[in-house]
Structure formats: structure tokens, C-alpha cells
Chains A and B, each alone.
Chain A
Amino acid sequence: MKISRRDFLKGSAATTMFLAGFNFPVLASSSKKKNLVVIMLRGGMDGLCAVPVIGDKNFEKRRKNILIENTIKLDSDFALHPKLKTFYSCWQENTGAIVHATSIPYTARSHFEGQNLMESGGRTPYKEKTGWVGRAMKLAKLQGEGLALSLPMPLLLRGVPKNNNYFPSDGKLPRDETLNLLKSIYADSSEEELMDMMNFIKKRKNEEMMAGYSSNWDKRKNNNLSKQAAAYLRKPNGPRVAVFEVNGFDTHAAQGGVNGTHTKCLVEMDNIIQNLKVELRDSYKDTLILTVTEFGRTIKQNGGNGTEHGYGTAIFMAGGLIKKSQVYTDWPGLKKKELFDGRDLNATLDARSIYASAMSTVFDIDFNRIKKEVFWGEKLDNLSEKLFKM
């Protein structure tokens, strides 16, 4: 076998020709523009901190110093972290759901490998050079419709050309005259891509997209990025896919209870959902928001009141394309023998089944095609009917 792979460590992706990206013809009113938003939770999100199981003595005993109090009861078995206020409002409106005891098929507990796989969707670290969202977009012919709220282009979106980044730089954009001048210079030397970029930058300037809604210092924070992303996504000819990153879930020490470090990260995620919900306006009902993470965390707290790298975790889903509020799970239990390696929450569902089903719903592609062409025909379950509005 000849080994070949990736070239995915690029400065930034092939994100040229923005105009092409944002100038797609307005979709006919009969086919609604549906949006997919993926929030990558880096560092290993603790599904049992975010969505704890109710009344499991074993669980409470093992993490007594970092147990979350005053949780919100979701159903007879699960509760919600009390700081996830927006997500709870989604839940109450039937646009928030959770899949629990799930994970990508990776058990070796390295962030480096895990984060590569959560984006590539494969089984062998570093083998793939494209991401599962990028491949599905290519299948759906969604060229130039992906937006990364970061630099450089994340692996997750690679695989389809002409995606764009939004990650504002410092300072004010140049005057229109400067941009026009450069544009004419590029025109004279047949630098067409650069020429188009000047148009795009002018447009961004007119939309005041540089500083955006926010003051200068936090314009690259998710709070601002999510408002900007929503403004793009709600446009009929805007992008259809947006990807966020939330860092810092790797809480080996002082994970903390309701005001701890893990909570802080979860609140950042909740804030993204909130801004999207508000700023997407009517488009929220045609949007699906999903989370991914590389692994969950150990059930037992460690000596530093933190948790170690684990396996099974939870996925948050929000938006109008959710079928109903539910915690969807095939709960494996938390008795010692039910745990993975005797220490971690087991994963009874391949997270990729959820992602494939979600993309089948948002991109209107047959599930089996996604399974075959995005996930190499691996054994994944079609959960579209159970989780999403068809």
C-alpha cells in the first residue's frame, strides 16, 4: 500500500473569490436556505458536567467536590447545567436537544489526535486531508458557502474550495480610494483574484464589518464573531455553514463547580447560541447548531479537583431544524463494569451518525450518500427522523 495523505496544514484555505461565495443567486422561495453551524469544543468537553445524570449515587460520590448544584431538570434521568440559560430557553421552545453517551470513534485520549479526528471524521490520526463538513459541502455542491470564524481555515471545512474566514484584523480598513487604486493596478496586471478581493473588502467596509458590533478589544471573541456570523448567515445569498471554536475545556485542575473553568467554557458556547438565536432572526428556524469535541472526561475527579481525558460525552443541538426537545441516548450506565476501560462514560452512539444525519437534513442529501462519500461507507445509523425535522 502506498501511503498518501493530506496537505492540510495550510496557512489558510483556498479561500479565493469571495464574491463568488457571497453572490450565489437568491434561492427560490420554494427551497428554503438552511444553515448549519458547528461549534468545536476543544480540550474535551465534560458531558457529565454539562448534562449530569440524576440520582446516581455512584456518580455523585466520585466527583463530590466538583458536582454541579441547582441543576435544571430536563427529564426523569438528566439535568442541565444551570448556567446554560439560552440552551434551556431553546429546550423550552422545543428547539434544543442533547445526544448523550456519544463520541467519535477514538479512544486513545490524546488531544492532538482527537482534535484531528473530530474534524476529519476518520479513524487514523492525520490520515485525511479534508474535514467531514467540507466533504459533505462538496457533495452538496456548496462551493464558497462556508465561513470559518477563525484563522487559518479549520480542517473541518477543508475539502470544498472557496470557503471564507471572518476573523477581523486591527485598525480601520483603507479608504475606498486606496482600494480602488489597488483594484485598477491589479486589473492592469491581470491579477483577477486580487482584484475581486478589493471589491469584497470594500463591501465589508460598507457593512462596517471590521470592528463589527463590538469595541476593538474583543472583536475576535466569540461574542462578536457570532453576531457577525448570524448577520452573514441570515442573508438569502450569504454562507450556509459556519464553524466556531471554543477553547479551554481541558480542565485537569480546579474544574470547579458552578463557577468553575469548565462552566466558563460552557457559558461561552451558550453565548454563541444566544447570539445566533437573536441575530439570525427568522432564519433561526431554518438553522441547525451542533457541537463537536474530541472526547469526554473521566467520571472520577482527580487529586486537583479536575478531570482527566475520557471517552463518552454529549452533543448539544439547537435551532429550528431540531425535531423536538429530548435527551437522545442509549444510556450505558455508570457502574464500574459499564464504563469504558473501567473509568470513562461509554459511547453507545458513534457521533458521526448524528453529524451525517444532521448534514443529510440541512444539505438535503440522501443519508446513504453522505455515509458512503463522506464517511467511507462506515456503519452509521440514520437518525434524521428521530432528531431532526425532515
Chain B
Amino acid sequence: MKNFFRKVAFGLKPDEKVPSDPLIWAQKQVETIPEFNWKGKYILSEKEMRKYWIKLRVEENTTLRKKYKNDPEGFRRAERQLENDVGKKFWPNNEICIRHAEALKSDHPVLAKLWYFWGNHFTISDTQTLSSFSTGAYQREFLRSNMDKTFETMVKEATLAWPMIMHLDNKDNVGPKSISGKEDWRREKKKPATINENHARELMELHTISPDGGYTQEDVVELAKIMTGWRPKWTKGRDHGHDVSFDRERHEPGKKKVLGKVYKSGKKGIDLAIKDLVNHPSCRKFISTKLCKYLITDNPTPEMIAPVIKAWEKSDGLLPEVHKAAIEVAFEYNNKYKKFQNPENWWLTTINMSGSNYKYPVSEYKMNQFVFGFKPSHEMRFPSWLLEDIGCHPYKQKQPNGYSDLEKDWLSTELVIRRLMYAKKAFHQYKVADQIDDTIHERIIRTNFDNPDKILKIVARAKTNEEKHMILFNLPEVLKA
């Protein structure tokens, strides 16, 4: 039964009281969206974060390029200084602290684990320096904030969020027959207006109905036409940093037909199209399957998926209901099915079960000490370094389909070596008093396992407390939950 706390959350702290009703304990956590546990001074909105992105972009592209055009070394130096001025290396670390405090310090770790699921589902991949400034804020503002609403709301907000429009190139999606498409400068500058189908394809393939929805290339192009004109405008002073808005002059005129349904030209098209996509049977099946895959097993059975789909249908895709259904299935299959934990969730489980969270995440007090214009300290940069090193930085996915959720993709030597190294690292997050406390592993094990004596016997074969940590957190029982 205690495995369940690792399955839907990150295990229990060494002296944490075991909840008497685990299922209710977990389900209650996803009903509402509480404030962030993190009390640092920087929790900025996506729009506020964009100012730093704009400053970096504009100054680099205009001022610096002109000033240092004959001085590559000077250019590199000035570029590094500018990066420090806008906190390029500070922001992602600050965001990871906010993110990980939810798992380690809040009273709703289950919500945190599901939030990470949605962050990977609506991936913003690592392009155009979005990972340094915007992705963290986007995951807070457009995903987490919507976890108590319907899936439809989440899709709408995520789709038109500035970072999503930027990274899937919808800013370049211009109707060839639109007013803008017919302008003379396009011919002169050889910049014809063209449909960019990238975002439309991902909206169907990755975000809603998946290839099982049976759409054709023609459907992709037609949905792309519906999406033409949704972009941030460009100005010299702010680059593409303006709010996303509907530019009628770039919108492809005429009716569009997606999956057999006709949509009128105009601003309302995208909302209507999303409404139909999220109500498509393939959508609820796709998302329910993905949720079961994340929480329960690499190969969920139709019996596992069915109750989640049912909850979706009953509640019209209200996410707390969908989440609760998935949690209940996870509870039911807790003993029979184990799920290989991705490196980030494994690291959080390790830290949480160790009870060493006074050093990780880096404290609010320390992060507040950051001074713009300087490189953040080694300690401040640790979270980002760690996640990159274990191979799953949540803002640095290489492609829009995010990280794999399958065991076979995470079982490689380089990554297994890292689990050994980071289990050791977790031990060194302890205060010295804990490092020399010979009862610490027994407490961790008694709280977290149904068969503590067996686990204790295995771990006792290790010689030092440090080695015990490496063994314990690399046991199959911890790698898989």
C-alpha cells in the first residue's frame, strides 16, 4: 500500500505520519489549486518575464551587433554581460525551485506530480531562449492555474499562450490570400505569405486527438488556416515580445473544413475548432491513456483506462474529476503494476524520502540574494544543472512531443550511472547530524515500505550510511513505483 505514496506523489518523509486513507488523501489534493508553497520574491507572470526576453533579444540583435561588429571577443563578453543583466541563468533555477517546492514542501505533492505531467504534455521545447525566461512561468500560469478547470480551457489557454505560439511557429503562419499576403513588399523581399502547419499539426497530434483521431494532411492544413493571424506583432523595440493577438490582415479568408466540419473565417474559429477537438472521442481516450501511462504502467489495459474516460464524459472533461479517476485506478492497481519513475520524479522521491529538503530546493532566502548583472552563484545554479545532468530538464525538451514516459527510454548506462551519483548527492544534502545518524535509514524504510524488515536486511549489507543511500534509492522498489 505504501508504494502508492511513491506512485502518485514522492513517497513520505522519514517521520511523516502515514495517511490513514491514502486514496482520499490523494484525491483531496487535486480538488483546488492552492497558492504556491514558494515564498521567494520572484514569482513573475509570463508577461513580466517576457520583458527580460525582449531586452536580451533586442539589445543583442541591434545594439551589440552594431557595436562589436569588428570585435568577436568583445561581442562575446558583452553578450555574457547582457545575459547576466537580464538574469538568463537565474530565472530557470528560480522556476525549478518554485516547481520542486511543490513536490517537497507543500501539502499537495499529488497535484505537483500531475502538474509535471501537463508541463510535458504541452511541451515548450528548447528554442529561442524560451527555456531561460518563459517556460516556467507558462507552466505555472497556463497549465497549473487551469488544473481545476476543464481540459478545453487548458487547451485554449495553452494554445494561444505566447511561448506556445512562438515555439510552434504560428507567428509565421500567414494566409496566402489574406490582406497581408497580397502586399507588395512580400514580393519585393521574397517573403511570400505561407501557411505554417507546425502548430496545427501538434494541436491535433500531440495536444488533443493524436493520430488515432484519423485526421489527414488536408485537415492539418485547414486547421492551420483557422490559426492564421494569431501572433504577437513585431516591432523593432520589442521584437516579437508583444501579446498574442488576432491579426485579421494575416488571417486566411474563406471557410475551412476540419474533420468534416466547416468553420467560418475569423477570430472565433480557433475556439470552435478546439471545442470540437477536445470533444472528439479520440481526445479523451488519448489523454486518459497517457495519464494511466504516467501513473500506473507503461502498458495500461483498457480496463484501467475505461474509468478515466467515463469520468471525463460525466464531467465534460473537468480536470479534477479526471485526475481523481486516474488516482483511483492507480490505487486499485497499486500492488500489481509498477511504473518506472523518470529521472526528475525519482530525484524528488529520493530527496523527499530522505527528508533532506532543508538544502533542496535552494531556499527562498538564498534565491532572493540574486543580484542582476552578476552570474548566479554555483548553489543557485544547481537545480538547472542537476536536471540537465539527469537528462530531463523540464524546460529543455528537444522536440515538441516532450520526454518519453517509457522505461526503455530511461534505462541507459549513462542515466543509470547518474542515479547512483545523485543518490550519493542526495545524501550530501543532509546536515552532518543526519549523515552520522545511524537510525536514519531505518526510519525512512519503516515509513515507506510495507515490508520494512526485508528492505532493511538488504540495505544493511552496505557498509556506510552514504552507501546505504545509494543502495536504497536504486532498489527496484524505488526506481519503480
Cβ-defined contact, B75 with A164, below 8 A = no
Distance A252 CA – B476 CA, assembled complex (angstroms): 49
Cβ-defined contact, B342 with A171, below 8 A = no
Contact of B424 with A by CB under 8 A: yes
Contact of B24 with A by CB under 8 A: no
Distance A165 CA – B389 CA, assembled complex (angstroms): 13
Distance A79 CA – B219 CA, assembled complex (angstroms): 50
Tell me, rounded to whole Å, the shortest Cβ–Cβ distance linking A71 to chain B: 18
Cβ-defined contact, B415 with A11, below 8 A = yes
Cβ-defined contact, A174 with B403, below 8 A = no
Contact with A along B434-474 (1 / 0, CB 8 A): 00000000000000000000000010011100010011001
Tell me, rounded to whole Å, the shortest Cβ–Cβ distance linking A81 to chain B: 15
Q: Which residues of the other chain, A, contact B471 by a CB distance below 8 angstroms? A: 178, 181-182, 185
Tell me, rounded to whole Å, the shortest Cβ–Cβ distance linking A182 to chain B: 6
User: Given the interface contacts A177-B463, A252-B65, does A2 sit within 8 Å of B214 by beta carbon?
Assistant: yes
Distance A143 CA – B418 CA, assembled complex (angstroms): 24
Cβ-defined contact, A1 with B217, below 8 A = yes
The winner among A6, A14, A18 for most chain B CB atoms within 10 A is: A14
Distance A259 CA – B75 CA, assembled complex (angstroms): 13
Instruction: Say which residue of A178, A191, A260 sits within 8 Å of B476 (CB atoms).
Output: A191
Number of interface residues of B (CB under 8 A): 67
Contact of A197 with B by CB under 8 A: yes
Cβ-defined contact, B399 with A9, below 8 A = yes
- Chain B interface mostly: helix
Tell me, rounded to whole Å, the shortest Cβ–Cβ distance linking A12 to chain B: 5
B127's nearest neighbour on chain A, judged by CB, is A112
Number of interface residues of A (CB under 8 A): 65
User: Given the interface contacts A9-B401, A185-B475, does A2 sit within 8 Å of B216 by beta carbon?
Assistant: yes
Q: Which residues of the other chain, B, contact A193 by a CB distance below 8 angstroms? A: 411
Instruction: Say which residue of B65, B76, B408 sits within 8 Å of A304 (CB atoms).
Output: B65
Tell me, rounded to whole Å, the shortest Cβ–Cβ distance linking B68 to chain A: 5
Tell me, rounded to whole Å, the shortest Cβ–Cβ distance linking B223 to chain A: 12
Using A194-B479, A254-B70 as known contacts, list a sample of 9 further A-B pairs with CB atoms less than 8 Å apart, ordered by residue number in A.
A11-B343, A12-B412, A15-B413, A165-B414, A182-B471, A201-B413, A253-B61, A253-B75, A305-B65
> 9 smallest A-B Cβ distances: which pairs?
A304-B65, A15-B412, A253-B65, A10-B404, A256-B72, A10-B409, A305-B69, A254-B75, A9-B399
Q: Residues of B with Cβ closer than 8 Å to A? A: 60-61, 64-66, 68-76, 123, 127, 169, 190, 198, 201, 205, 211, 214-217, 220, 342-343, 389, 391-392, 397-404, 406, 408-418, 420-421, 424-425, 458, 461-463, 467, 470-471, 474-476, 479
11 contacts between A and B (CB under 8 A): A2-B215, A3-B215, A6-B401, A9-B403, A9-B404, A11-B410, A12-B391, A165-B414, A253-B64, A254-B71, A259-B72
